[in-house]
Structure 1
Amino acid sequence: MTLTTRFAPSPTGYLHVGGARTALYSWLFAKKNGGDFVLRIEDTDLERSTQASVDAIMDGMNWLKLDWNLGPFYQTKRFDRYKEVIQQLLDNGHAYRCYCTPEEVELMREEQRAKGEKPRYNGMWRERTDYPADKPYVIRFKNPLDGSVIIEDLVKGNIEISNKELDDLIIARSDGSPTYNLTVVVDDWDMKITHVIRGDDHVNNTPRQINILKALGAPLPKYAHIPMILGDDGKRLSKRHGAVGVMQYRDDGYLPEALLNYLVRLGWSHGDQEIFSRDEMIELFDLSGCNRAPSAFNTEKLIWVNQHYMKSLDPEYVASHLQWHMDEQGINTDNGPALSEVVKVQADRVKTLKEMAQISRYFYEEYQEFDEKAAKKHLRGVAKEPLKLVKTKLAAISEWTPENIQAAINGTADELEVGMGKVGMPLRVAATGGGNSPSLDVTLALLAPAQVVSRIEKAIAFIDARAQQ
């Protein structure tokens, strides 16, 4: 039998990082074992499910390149199959009609709470057949009364739950629509899922699903429940901790490789190794390496990983992602250096691609004004002579290279018998509009010669205007 895993999100919002990590672990496990990876959209919550959320999930999966080879399957297109299985359970005596109203069930629970008992449905209609006419009913699964369910969890170890702890759960609502625990069971059965890898918030559902599978005579998948992700304050990760949607990380300037690498280590380890290529993840990933305890999300660690990938991946590839941010910030890159060249000089100076785009604007468009602090410090009267001389030397360069540019800067400092800073800093402010840039020779080499000369003239005019105030 082919090993088959699945990722089964509900389309009621974005693809959050917890879901992305579950998808990644399921994807890696299937890839490593030459298996299938199923994408299933659990959209039976008709009030909350939206096409926009489906699109957001797909966007996140595609951005991370977590490709599925089976699906996507939509539960809303399988209602006939669910009704068939519900009828099968009724016919085999594993399910029954329950005519209790929600108010009656709540009254049962209140009485149980008053006695210090666990609140639950008490099985009132479990063996009855005196069905009233024209009264709405739900269908409940007849859970075993004795024994226990043992989950042979591949992450947490064996988990045993007594059947006495489980009540007869509803598998079909009064309108006939199936409930979550029924649809999941049927889907996992029909799609031949061999391994269910999911968050440990589903541990309570697993014994119920195992009992339904046994009642249907269906094979049991193996289960692996991954501990949740916490914020740095020890509480469950949520919006208050910052970005939790996968595409928000793209918007904030992270590379997909960085987020994947960070997520694979957020609950799994292979020795002390921190950086994993996609191929290494597939080769080394194993469920036995997953932690049993929750993991805390650390944005500073993610930034470190992102910086590693910005510096180490092919600049052409990084530039393809940087282009999106340039477009978002309204920076037209048609006229200016190749983005890959910008990546080479800026990658070790920033935390994110968004920041890289922000500080690289001067390569592609004229700045409107000088940075006030930099201009006040460096565009003073004493800078006029160095700027005029270096402009002349730069304009005379026949081959516009970093080496020749540096020679012109050095020559200016030598001729005027001043330190390099007296030439370099005014020139940097003139060329970029601010006081920070990569190495000056490389920065100027990425600008057009005429552009550099024009900006120096702009700086000299600024100095003159300032002197007349």
Structure 2
Amino acid sequence: MTVKTRFAPSPTGFLHVGGARTALYSWLHARNQGGEFVLRIEDTDLERSTQEAIDAILEGMNWLGLNWEEGPYYQTKRFDRYNQLIDQLLAEGKAYKCYCSKERVDALREQQMANGEKARYDGHCRDSQEQHAADAPFVIRFRNPTEGTVAFDDHVRGRIEIDNRELDDLIIRRSDGSPTYNFCVVVDDWDMGISHVVRGEDHINNTPRQINIYQALGAPVPEFAHVSMILGDDGAKLSKRHGAVSVMQYRDDGYLPQALLNYLVRLGWSHGDQEIFSEQEMIELFSLKAINKSASAFNTDKLLWLNQHYMKSLPADEVAKHLAWHFEQQNIPLQNGPSLEALIPVMAERAQTLKELAESSRYYYEDFEEFDAAAAKKHLRPVAQAPLELVAQKLAALQEWNAEAIHNCIKQTAEELELGMGKVGMPLRVAVTGAGQSPSLDLTLLLIGQARSVERIGKAVEFVANRANS
């Protein structure tokens, strides 16, 4: 049997973290088994589905690198197929027309709830012989079995069994002629040859109903794996107030897709105590049986730690592809400074996100108008003028601009003036970066460049002189 999985989001909103994790688990199972992964857009909710949401889902999947062999399929383009099978079920007596008004159904449910009963359709039209006008509105309901049980072995939950008497006759075609979600899903999974359905635990109640529809159609029933919800840091269900709503918000906030995938795979699945997984390791080690039944709590600090790990450990050219986007967003002119591949090893230790890395690297690419006030007050004092002038002379005279030569210039300046390295280094750091913190000075100056470094030191000397005369 060829393993075939699917991710089938409804385009009523963005691709969120829970959906991304479901997509990842489904994708990994297909890859682990040498199978295929299908993307399907379940857009039967015509009022709430939007093109913007569809675009956001596709963008999120592409950013995460969760590529698909088939799709994207759209349910709205398959209505003829659904209606053909609904008509077939009607002809076979496995579905029936229901003329109950919305008011009757609502009143029925209210009464049931008042009596402490489970709200469900009472089958009023199931075997009714009542005659109706040709233009009377009706829905089509599936004739659910009234005896026996529905049982399935869930890869995460184990054996689940539901008595058919607990299930009512669900609507499979609305009065406007449009088919409903639970029916469309079954037909799609059958037509697309889906062998394994990986989805959220909120779909467990739908599964027995859908299994009965598979069987009524004579379709094979896929295997199921229902994954638990994700909780926020505070233990409540993950929601907008916990931060990012869309997966793409994580890109905007400076996370690498590799870090988010690694974080999501561990949010309910584990392989021993291992925390860091390459994509290939995820594929080789992943198993549906190893998914945890209990809910997982989202931990932003852990995600930040992972993100910095990937910023430091991935090939610089891979990180640079994502970092360039942030430079563009912050209007930092890349052409005026070092290559991102050269910048990343120097700055990744000092930032947890790409956004932060870009923000803190601006001085490599454009000149600053003024020095940080606190840093200048502390380090650009009259006593700094002589070391700044001397180190500027030495740096300007260098024939080769490399880290070792730069370090020697700073060291020689300190020795000649009989000063500690800090008395030279700190004023120099403020002079070339505008602030009091940066990576090691030799690497900082190397990336800023010789001409620009010397020019900035000259401005700092002028600042010190003006301060002395004021």
Residue in 2 that maps onto 1:253: 254
Q: Distance in 1 between matches of 2:258 and 2:119?
A: 47
Q: Are 1:202 and 2:203 an aligned pair?
A: yes
Conserved? CA contact 1:231–1:237, under 8 Å: yes
Q: Distance in 1 between matches of 2:180 and 2:259?
A: 37
Equivalent residue letter for 2:396: A
Identity of aligned residues (%): 66
> Deviation per CA, 1:314-352, whole angstroms, max 9, x where unpaired?
011111111110000000101211111110101111100
Conserved? CA contact 1:32–1:283, under 8 Å: yes
Q: Distance in 2 between matches of 1:124 and 1:408?
A: 93
Secondary structure of 2:37's aligned partner: strand
1:256-275 equivalent positions in 2, closer than 5 A = 256-275=257-276
Residue in 1 that maps onto 2:40: 40
1:115 is displaced (CA, Å) by 2.2
Equivalent residue letter for 1:320: K
Conserved? CA contact 1:387–1:460, under 8 Å: yes
Equivalent residue letter for 1:227: S
Residue in 2 that maps onto 1:115: 115
> Deviation per CA, 1:137-196, whole angstroms, max 9, x where unpaired?
111111111111112101110111111111111111100101100100110111111000
> Deviation per CA, 1:236-263, whole angstroms, max 9, x where unpaired?
1111000131111111111110000000
Secondary structure of 1:375's aligned partner: helix
Secondary structure of 1:249's aligned partner: helix
Gaps (5+ residues) in structure 2?
A: none
Residue in 2 that maps onto 1:456: 457
Q: Distance in 2 between matches of 1:115 and 1:457?
A: 86
Residue in 2 that maps onto 1:369: 370
TM-score normalized with structure 2 length: 0.99
Secondary structure of 2:259's aligned partner: helix
Residue in 1 that maps onto 2:397: 396
Equivalent residue letter for 1:76: T
Equivalent residue letter for 1:31: R
1:129 is displaced (CA, Å) by 3.1
Q: Distance in 1 between matches of 2:305 and 2:339?
A: 26
Residue in 1 that maps onto 2:12: 12
1:116 is displaced (CA, Å) by 2.0
Gaps (5+ residues) in structure 1?
A: none
Conserved? CA contact 1:405–1:441, under 8 Å: yes
Q: Distance in 1 between matches of 2:119 and 2:4?
A: 37
Equivalent residue letter for 1:69: E
1:368 is displaced (CA, Å) by 1.4
Residue in 2 that maps onto 1:130: 130
Q: Distance in 2 between matches of 1:11 and 1:245?
A: 12
Residue in 2 that maps onto 1:349: 350
Residue in 2 that maps onto 1:325: 326
Q: Are 1:307 and 2:308 an aligned pair?
A: yes
> Deviation per CA, 1:264-306, whole angstroms, max 9, x where unpaired?
0001000000001001111000011100001000010001111
Secondary structure of 1:198's aligned partner: strand
Q: Distance in 2 between matches of 1:78 and 1:407?
A: 72
Secondary structure of 1:334's aligned partner: helix
Q: Are 1:69 and 2:69 an aligned pair?
A: yes
Q: Distance in 2 between matches of 1:22 and 1:302?
A: 18
Q: Distance in 1 between matches of 2:90 and 2:321?
A: 57
Q: Distance in 2 between matches of 1:262 and 1:194?
A: 27
Q: Distance in 2 between matches of 1:151 and 1:245?
A: 33
Q: Are 1:26 and 2:26 an aligned pair?
A: yes
Q: Distance in 1 between matches of 2:123 and 2:468?
A: 92
Q: Distance in 2 between matches of 1:46 and 1:468?
A: 74
Secondary structure of 1:108's aligned partner: helix
Conserved? CA contact 1:237–1:244, under 8 Å: no
**Runs of 4 or more off by more than 4 Å in structure 1?**
none
Conserved? CA contact 1:394–1:408, under 8 Å: yes
Equivalent residue letter for 1:342: L
Q: Distance in 2 between matches of 1:109 and 1:194?
A: 36
Residue in 1 that maps onto 2:79: 79
Q: Are 1:58 and 2:58 an aligned pair?
A: yes
Residue in 2 that maps onto 1:292: 293
Q: Distance in 2 between matches of 1:355 and 1:109?
A: 54
Greater alpha carbon shift after TM alignment, 105-114 vs 240-249:
105-114
Residue in 2 that maps onto 1:220: 221
Q: Distance in 1 between matches of 2:113 and 2:400?
A: 86
Q: Distance in 2 between matches of 1:9 and 1:99?
A: 31
Q: Distance in 1 between matches of 2:96 and 2:236?
A: 40
1:468 is displaced (CA, Å) by 3.2
TM-score normalized with structure 1 length: 0.99
Q: Distance in 2 between matches of 1:218 and 1:232?
A: 42
Equivalent residue letter for 1:93: G
Q: Distance in 1 between matches of 2:324 and 2:9?
A: 30
Equivalent residue letter for 1:324: W
Q: Aligned residue pairs: how many?
A: 469
Q: Distance in 2 between matches of 1:283 and 1:457?
A: 58
1:161-240 equivalent positions in 2, closer than 5 A = 161-240=162-241
> Deviation per CA, 1:203-239, whole angstroms, max 9, x where unpaired?
0110110011111111000000000111011111111
Secondary structure of 1:123's aligned partner: coil
1:113 is displaced (CA, Å) by 2.1
Greater alpha carbon shift after TM alignment, 129-138 vs 358-367:
129-138
> Deviation per CA, 1:423-463, whole angstroms, max 9, x where unpaired?
00000000001111110011101122111111001111111
> Deviation per CA, 1:36-82, whole angstroms, max 9, x where unpaired?
11100001111111111111111111111110001111000000001
Q: Distance in 2 between matches of 1:271 and 1:455?
A: 53
Equivalent residue letter for 1:145: T
1:465 is displaced (CA, Å) by 2.2
